Amino acid sequence: MPNSFGKLFTVTTWGESHGGAVGVVVDGCPPRLPLNPVEIQAELDRRRPGQSDIVSPRKEADQVEILSGLFEGRTTGTPISMLVRNTDARPGAYDEMREKFRPSHADFTYLAKFGIRDHQGGGRSSARETIGRVAAGAIARKILRLGNRVEVRAWVARIHDIVAPPLRRLPTLAEVEASPVRCPHAATAAAMIERIKAVRAAGDSLGGLIECRVHGVPPGLGEPVFDRLEADLAKAMLSLPATKGFEIGSGFAGTLLKGSEHNDLFVARGGRVRTLTNNSGGVQGGISNGEDLWFRIAFKPTATILRPQATVDVRGRPAVLTGRGRHDPCVLPRAVPMVEAMTGLVLVDHWLRQAAQNRTFKF
């Protein structure tokens, strides 16, 4: 089903940008997991609009309501249903979009596919759908921390042509959250913020790169051939709104190296098999090798911009459209928790698959 993700740990999101609410159903969560709604709310607060002067000014508390699957502070093993109500929708800002297609948005393609579309805020194609992913991802990441001490960390590595220097270690959450742009390098973060403000003042938008590293992943996660770990990560990341590219490890830069330069040589260290380098990004043959997962995601500039653009209307007639409503001039700061959430969902699903495969059966 196109609205569901995962095989053993399955999430199904629902809702539209200007509907009554958005939410998610999580199926396959192990029972007896200690879970406090405050833990989920903390991640939703990182994703919500209105949190700084460089994101959408839409005012939503994004307060989570857990409707099922939790009893006396622990998961029951039954589906967990979570809901967030929309309280600051302004559908009138989208009246012009009823008849006109926004360039590089999903207006035309949704109409082509379904023969009907919700023009208010993009409906289902809005990034507001990701509330359900972030809520579910908070549960997945807690399972990973408790079960395997896995730490997922994403940050903004580039905005437009402003690039943060490479990091030699995994940044802390506090370092990432120190700046509203979520770049852990202070000087670069300041430059990024100024660029975003300048472009927004001109009615335009920016894109960039998010980098993600995952520490503590055990070897053996992932499946040969079709469910390779990097393939599932790529699908997860490219399912996020505004994504246009994914690369893992050396990525496209690896094509400039020779095999003798690119190969990750094995060594024995502390009784474990390790690699001297990590050009593979923590995955070989579609299966994790115990090194840090390391990948990057490209996000395009926000499609809705506040300046006139040529387009056509639903009858195919030439038209001009100026974007209205409240939009992020750059989606990357709020996309960081989305990337971490999708990473957690992929990893916990593969962790459960590996645990099921390696149970001892008597034949």
In this structure, is residue 162 part of a structural domain?
yes
Q: In whole angstroms, what is the distance from residue 115 CA to residue 52 CA?
A: 37
Give residues with Cβ within 8 angstroms of 190, minimum separation 6: 179
Check residue 329 and give its pLDDT: 92
**Is pLDDT at 42 greater than 90 in this prediction?**
yes
∠ at Cα 311 (310, 317), nearest 5°?
120
Check residue 1 and give its pLDDT: 58
**Is pLDDT at 301 greater than 80 in this prediction?**
yes
Annotate 28-53 with b (16+ C-beta within 10 A) or e (fewer). bbeeebebebeebbebbebbbbeeee
Q: In whole angstroms, what is the distance from residue 90 CA to residue 88 CA?
A: 6
Percent of the chain residues past pLDDT 70, beyond the cut: 98
**Is pLDDT at 360 greater than 90 in this prediction?**
no
Q: Which of 83-97, 147-161, 227-241, 313-327 has the lowest mean pLDDT?
A: 83-97
Report residue 43 as tokens.
């991640």
Check residue 270 and give its pLDDT: 85
- Mean of pLDDT values over 296-322: 94
Check residue 91 and give its pLDDT: 67
Check residue 325 and give its pLDDT: 66
In this structure, is residue 363 part of a structural domain?
no
In this structure, is residue 362 part of a structural domain?
no
DSSP 194-232: HHHHHHHHTT--B-EEEEEEEE-PPTT-S-SGGG-HHHH
**Domain count across the chain:** 1
In this structure, is residue 314 part of a structural domain?
yes
Q: What is the per-residue pLDDT across 14-34, written as a single tens digit (0 to 9) for each? A: 999 888 999 999 999 999 999
Q: 264: part of which helix (H) or strand (E)?
A: none
Q: What is the per-residue pLDDT across 70-114, written as a single tens digit (0 to 9) for each? A: 999 999 999 999 999 998 777 676 788 889 999 999 999 999 999
- Mean of pLDDT values over 232-248: 98
Q: In whole angstroms, what is the distance from residue 291 CA to residue 161 CA?
A: 30
**Is pLDDT at 179 greater than 80 in this prediction?**
yes
Q: In whole angstroms, what is the distance from residue 22 CA to residue 65 CA?
A: 11
Q: Give the domain extent around 182.
A: 4-357
**Is pLDDT at 363 greater than 80 in this prediction?**
no
CA torsion sign for 32, 33, 39, 43 is: negative
The CATH number of whichever domain residue 309 belongs to comes to 3.60.150.10
Check residue 168 and give its pLDDT: 83
